Structure 1
Amino acid sequence: MHFLTIRKGTALLILAAFFAVVTAAGWWLLKAGDKVVIKETAGNPVREIHMVTGEFMATLPSGKKIEAYRWDPGTIFMEKGEKVRLIIYGVNGKEHPFHIENTTIKGTVKKGEETAVDLSFDKEGTYRLICEVHPDKEHNGPMIAYIVVD
């Protein structure tokens, strides 16, 4: 009996190792074809980044209701000189007029609509996408996203 138990344990160990190898190989094969998707526009590569407007609501122990609006994702990354089309879909809130700090870029995101913003920065740094309706806690914010340019 002891001999059979050792053989079963060894067989189970070999079987577990086999499944681990097959799983890892399958994952590698599925990921091997991944690449960054770039939409070509007039011969210039433009990367699309999608963002949405979101809202959080909660009730304090006192019964007071609080809410906050956010951009999601809250941070995006791009390279200096890279061309990006930021597509923002309005999910929560009637509308969100915005500007990107230290630029002339501005627009409005409306509920149920997409707003496309073409971006390209010549200087590295962090640029803030600020909703003008929700700029701080007193106005159910801050609704600020960060655009990090390297």
Structure 2
Amino acid sequence: MSKFTDNAGREWVFTITVDDVRRVRKKLEVDLLDVDVFPQLASDPILLADVLFVLCLPQADADGITDEDFGRGLGGDAIDEATEAVLDALVNFSRSAKRATLRKVIDKQKALEARGLEAAETYLASGQAEKEMDAAIKKAGL
């Protein structure tokens, strides 16, 4: 079981089964079995929210939560927690022979994202962004 808590304090608990994969394919035309979906889910909060809503649909229906209500509950740290939950659920759904490889894919994605953020921080701290902006403004005659 995977779970996350949204910004409204609601705890969402789900697993991924064949029925869930089928339902996501039918409603969203997203194939959760395609390894390329992992980085998409990690980088696109709208896709993540749509997939999670479909996965959590039985609980949402039981609690009278609409798609819009669900989306309003996701932002900031809740998105991080929800991303971890759905990726872990996808790994757990997979056959045992694939789990280690899928975990490596997720870990590599996290490492690449961390390196990108680190590079952006270094760039911003260097003052280079301001220099380039000043040069562009000067060149434009502003």
Q: Do the two structures share a fold, i.e. TM-score over 0.5?
A: no
Which protein shows a greater Rg? 1
TM-score, scaled relative to structure 2: 0.21
Higher helix share: 2
> Which structure would you say has the larger RCO, counting Cα contacts within 8 Å and 6 or more residues apart?
2
Greater strand share, structure number: 1
